[in-house]
Amino acid sequence: MVSNRCKMMVKEELKKLGLHFIIVDLGVVEIMENITADKRALLKLNLSESGLELMDDKKAILIEKVKNVIIEMIHHADEPIRVTFSEYLSEKLDQNYTYLANLFSEVQGITIEQFMILHKIERIKELIIYDELNITEIAWKMNYSSVAHLSTQFKKVTGLSPSHFKLLKDKRRNPIEELGN
């Protein structure tokens, strides 16, 4: 669950089943009552039809939490983190970073760093389209050491320089839900 639209869909499915939720957040749902096996199966089916997944596997849940921390940090945080990302992720999830990185790579087929880069590039595209910040300000906001580093990474992923992307009439962006899958 990586967007507000996803959260709304989950809330609707819970309401349809008469379940009362305490929290519906990115990758986490807490309901007030115990859920029967039948309702759980129906919820799983209904979510699946909407393109969402009810996860039971602890490793899959942990992977989803890693993704959500990255998405929150890149797409919704106003200030860059002040510690290394590995420290931030380890503290946030109370897990060893090496374990998280190995598990993520094994399950997703890409590294945490590659997943982060994909999301950073999508966020940079969004900031370029908004046209409120120049490329230097975007580099600072996205925690790049320099404009050159941002530009190199942007070109490596998109095949275009940020300035060329800005000139395109049809600015192609990818849905957050599809990045790294």
Q: What is the pLDDT of residue 1?
A: 43
Q: What is the pLDDT of residue 113?
A: 96
pLDDT tens-digit profile of 94-121?
Answer: 999 999 999 999 989 999 999 999 999 9
Q: What is the pLDDT of residue 159?
A: 95
Q: Which whole-number Å values give the CA distances from 17 to 6, 26, 36, in the listed order?
A: 17, 20, 11
| Mean pLDDT, the chain, integer | 88
List of the chain residues with pLDDT < 70:
1-2, 26-27, 169-171, 173, 175, 177, 181
Contacts 24+ apart (CB under 8 A), 10-19: 10/47, 10/52, 13/43, 13/46, 13/47, 13/50, 14/43, 16/46, 17/42, 17/43, 17/46, 19/43
**pTM for the complete prediction?**
0.70
Round to the nearest angstrom and report the end-to-end CA distance of the chain: 13
Q: 């990758």: which residue's tokens?
A: 27
